[in-house]
């Protein structure tokens, strides 16, 4: 039997490559590997002396262990390493790095490093993570000085279910090898500096529920193969340089809850197949040059709660079909070229709490009740529609003029809708103007005419014309 010797100031006793304490054992190489990994990351000098038995008597909150199966005596293995501000106020040292000693922790299932590389650059190894064959969860998140490329070797991790590399400084292309991760449920590469096209191979991730590639520099078209991801619930490609049209195959994603393609250069119209998104709740297309009509099928998406098509170059009228969306809480159609009147039934939607129709070419009277206007307050925005008017006493910020109750026309001469008199040619008098229902005069010695006088004046003028 090998002789016993003291290890790490007498905390542990090692024998034949196994470190034991009170019949709880751990392989020496694995424990030494863990000590080296933690020493290269955490801002806690002497970590190995403070936590010599991290699986048992001296646990650290970010370390989890499990007893290996079919091992006699039972041996503990490190299965989780989580480093972040939720487990330590200052999680990482200024010169933190990811040690190759991770390879000495072969049973590691979950590795999470959050808010760690904040001052000095650390480069992602192209091969290190791909050798961690037991890994199921890899999350390197909110590390502004973590650079390098997304390792293609990650495609070797056949057990991986979650891959989150968001809010780092990663560059290069998305490797097509990630399409081999058949058990992957979540892929988040958002908020990096990734470039190139979205690989078609991602269409092979049949277990995927979340796909977020937002806030990168990706270009090209949305791959049609993504329509095969029948378990997908969240698809976010916002803030890239994607172009072309939305593939009709996306309409097959009948479990999709969130679709965000905002801030790209995608063209319209939307394919009619998107009517198959029966579980969609959030539909966001802001700032794309769609230059098309609002599709009628939006009224068939009964579960939708949020629709936003701001700055999309939309034309035509607001379809009445939107008035059937009883779950709708927010509708943003601002900064387009929409014309015509506002559907009156929009004000009857029971859950609508935000409505932005500003800066279009809408006309007619604002069809909403005073209760609806009061309930939404500043969450109702119809500014920038010069042809829109209201008969309600509404807040000044809406910048909507007041309508007359009636409009008269004789011999093609129309009395203007503002509450002010007109001359015999149907023109507004120069000495009177109206803004938001308030009348002012350039002649200080005369009071402005009352609304009743204005209406009578217009009818007198019309009667004069009828007698000629």
What order do you get walking across the sheet with 401-402 strand by strand? 339-340, 361-365, 387-390, 401-402
Regarding whether 94 and 126 lie in a shared domain, the answer is: no
pLDDT recorded at residue 25: 77
Element (H, E) at 456: helix 451-467
- pLDDT-derived band at 220, boundaries 50, 70, 90: very high
Higher pLDDT, 305 or 449: 305
Position 63 in a domain: yes
Position 393 in a domain: no
Position 352 in a domain: yes
CA distance readout (Å), 73 to 18, 20, 64: 10, 10, 19
Query: Stretch 141-166: mean pLDDT, rounded?
Result: 97
pLDDT recorded at residue 3: 36
Regarding whether 41 and 150 lie in a shared domain, the answer is: no
Q: How do residues 8-34 score in pLDDT, each as one tens digit? A: 333 333 333 444 444 457 899 999 999
Q: Which of 385, 401, 420 delimits the end of a domain?
A: 385
In 3D, which of 49, 46, 124, 129 has the Cα closest to residue 81? Answer: 129
Distance CA 336, CA 359 (A): 7
**What is the bridge-based pairing of β-strands 146-149 and 122-123?**
parallel
How many structural domains is the chain composed of? 3
Cβ atoms of 127 and 151 closer than 8 Å: yes
Regarding whether 79 and 110 lie in a shared domain, the answer is: no
Regarding whether 243 and 316 lie in a shared domain, the answer is: yes
**What is the bridge-based pairing of β-strands 5-7 and 12-15?**
antiparallel
Cβ atoms of 335 and 357 closer than 8 Å: no
3-class SS of residue 236: strand
- pLDDT-derived band at 400, boundaries 50, 70, 90: confident
Q: How do residues 64-82 score in pLDDT, each as one tens digit? A: 999 987 666 789 999 999 9
Position 453 in a domain: yes
Position 111 in a domain: yes
Regarding whether 259 and 128 lie in a shared domain, the answer is: yes
Position 401 in a domain: no
Regarding whether 312 and 229 lie in a shared domain, the answer is: yes
Position 403 in a domain: no
Regarding whether 86 and 115 lie in a shared domain, the answer is: no
DSSP state of 341: P
CATH number at residue 290: 3.80.10.10
Distance CA 407, CA 395 (A): 24
User: How many alpha carbons lie under 13 Å from residue 294 in its C-beta half-sphere?
Assistant: 24
Q: Which of 58, 85, 101 delimits the end of a domain?
A: 101
What pairs with residue 172 in β-bridges?
Answer: 194
Q: Give the domain extent around 198.
A: 102-385
Cβ atoms of 338 and 359 closer than 8 Å: no
φ, ψ of residue 156 to 5 degrees: the values are: -85, -10
Regarding whether 304 and 162 lie in a shared domain, the answer is: yes
Regarding whether 164 and 288 lie in a shared domain, the answer is: yes
Position 180 in a domain: yes
DSSP state of 159: T
What pairs with residue 345 in β-bridges?
Answer: none
Q: How do residues 162-216 score in pLDDT, each as one tens digit? A: 999 999 999 999 999 999 999 999 999 999 999 999 999 999 999 999 999 999 9
Regarding whether 356 and 236 lie in a shared domain, the answer is: yes
CA distance readout (Å), 57 to 11, 60, 93: 10, 10, 25
């Amino acid at each position: 039997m090998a002789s016993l010797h003291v290890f790490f100031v007498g905390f542990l006793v090692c024998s034949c490559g196994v470190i034991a304490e009170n019949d709880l054992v751990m392989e020496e190489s694995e424990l030494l590997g863990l000590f080296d990994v933690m020493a290269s990351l955490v801002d806690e000098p002497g970590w190995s002396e403070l936590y010599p038995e991290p699986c048992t008597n001296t646990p650290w909150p970010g370390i989890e262990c499990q007893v290996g199966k079919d091992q006699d005596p039972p041996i503990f293995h490190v299965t989780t390493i989580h480093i972040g501000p939720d487990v330590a106020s200052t999680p990482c040292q200024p010169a933190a790095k990811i040690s190759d000693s991770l390879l000495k922790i072969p049973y590691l299932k979950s590795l999470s490093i959050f808010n760690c590389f904040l001052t000095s650059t650390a480069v992602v190894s192209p091969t290190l993570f791909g050798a961690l064959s037991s890994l199921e969860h890899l999350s390197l998140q909110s590390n502004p000085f973590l650079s390098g490329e997304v390792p293609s070797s990650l495609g070797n991790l056949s057990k991986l279910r979650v891959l989150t590399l968001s809010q780092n400084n990663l560059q290069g292309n998305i490797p097509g090898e990630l399409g081999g991760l058949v058990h992957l449920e979540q892929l988040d590469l958002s908020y990096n500096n990734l470039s190139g096209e979205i690989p078609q191979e991602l269409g092979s991730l049949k277990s995927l529920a979340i796909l977020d590639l937002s806030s990168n520099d990706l270009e090209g078209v949305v791959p049609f193969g993504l329509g095969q991801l029948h378990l997908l619930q969240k698809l976010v490609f916002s803030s890239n340089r994607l172009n072309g049209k939305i593939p009709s195959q996306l309409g097959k994603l009948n479990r999709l809850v969130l679709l965000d393609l905002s801030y790209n250069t995608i063209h319209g119209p939307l394919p009619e197949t998107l009517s198959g998104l029966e579980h969609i709740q959030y539909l966001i297309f802001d700032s794309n040059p769609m230059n098309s009509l609002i599709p009628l099928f939006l009224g068939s998406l009964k579960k939708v709660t949020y629709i936003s098509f701001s700055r999309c170059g939309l034309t035509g009228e607001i379809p009445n079909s939107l008035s059937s969306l009883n779950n709708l809480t927010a509708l943003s159609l601002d900064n387009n070229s929409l014309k015509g009147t506002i559907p009156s039934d929009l004000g009857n939607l029971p859950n609508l709490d935000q409505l932005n129709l500003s800066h279009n070419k809408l006309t007619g009277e604002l069809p909403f009740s005073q209760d609806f206007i009061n309930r939404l307050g500043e969450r109702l925005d119809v500014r920038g529609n010069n042809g829109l008017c209201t008969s309600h006493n509404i807040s000044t910020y809406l910048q909507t003029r007041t309508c007359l109750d009636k409009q008269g026309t004789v011999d093609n001469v129309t009395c203007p809708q503002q509450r002010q008199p007109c001359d015999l040619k149907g023109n507004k008098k120069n000495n009177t103007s109206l803004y938001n229902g308030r009348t002012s005069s350039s002649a200080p010695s005369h009071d402005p005419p009352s609304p009743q006088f204005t209406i009578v004046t217009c009818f007198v003028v019309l009667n004069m014309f009828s007698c000629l």
